[in-house]
Amino acid sequence: MGYEYNEFKKDVYKLTNINLDLYKERQMKRRIESLIARKGFSGFEDFFKGMKQDVDLLHTFVTYLTINVSQFYRNPAQWETFDKEIIPYLIQNFGKKITIWSAACSTGDEPYTIAMILAKHLDFNEFNVIATDIDDEVLKFAKEGVYSSKSLVDLPKEYLNKYFKQIDDGNFKVSDELKARISFKKHNLLEDAYFNDVNMIVCRNVVIYFTDEAKDDVYKKFNRSLKKDGILFIGSTEQILKSKDLGFEVLKTFFYKKM
């Protein structure tokens, strides 16, 4: 019996602390096989040996694995709800000291979007955004805060004009005052300890790649992280089945309140 996907998963866990058993197998295996073929390797064993020898290939694998698809103001109608209904709810329930955790934040588009909208309602010293991801490379990108015009296509002009400076033909840099409200940290949703006493968690279009058991475990941990009546904001491709069993009730579509 040769080296197969099960051996590959074990070795990847030792190397990266990413547990592929917690991802939907058919979907993830297909993605990895596609990457292996594209990089010219003969199979899982050959590819793993390549990652051990080439740190750039390892970074490419982790970035590819964590499915970094992000954009400012992605799904605008949901951000309108966040602006007009959810932030007033948070202020009414928790006062003018708000902490929001952007989990699996990818390249930073989401936490910057959160901070810009919060700044319409609160002073800069009244809110804090924690932004986490498993991938060092995307966190580095997010901290630099330089984005192409393509990433900003859905962002309302009021935010673009106020918080971005064009630095060359097609790139824009986030303002330092906005950056200062965001703490970027490395975090593995499937392995690491969660934050405590946050008012809201934003985790969109990520857990869809996890097994049902892993997904429920993440939602339970999110519930424990939130203050009572805190809010979980999920993605447009997701819904929480049996939400009450996990300690949540629907507040608005895609927004769940801790019971």
Strand-pairing partners, residue 146, are 173
pLDDT at 45 over 60: yes
146 phi, psi to nearest 5 deg: -115, 125
Distance CA 8, CA 136 (A): 22
Q: Average of pLDDT values for 57-78?
A: 80
- pTM for the complete prediction? 0.84
Q: Given this model, what pLDDT does residue 69 score? A: 57
Number of residues assigned to the chain: 259
pLDDT at 66 over 90: no
Residues carrying CATH 3.40.50.150, the chain:
76-258
CATH 1.10.10.10 fits 76-258, yes or no: no
pLDDT tens digits for range 167-188: 988 899 999 999 999 999 999 9
Confidence of residue 70 (pLDDT cuts 50, 70, 90): low
Strand-pairing partners, residue 232, are 201, 256
Cα dihedral 119→236→247→224 (10° resolution): -50
Q: What is the mean pLDDT of the chain?
A: 92
- 217 or 67, which is more confident? 217
The helix or strand, by DSSP H or E, that contains position 230, with its residue range, turns out to be strand 226-233
Confidence of residue 73 (pLDDT cuts 50, 70, 90): confident
| Residue 120 DSSP code | T
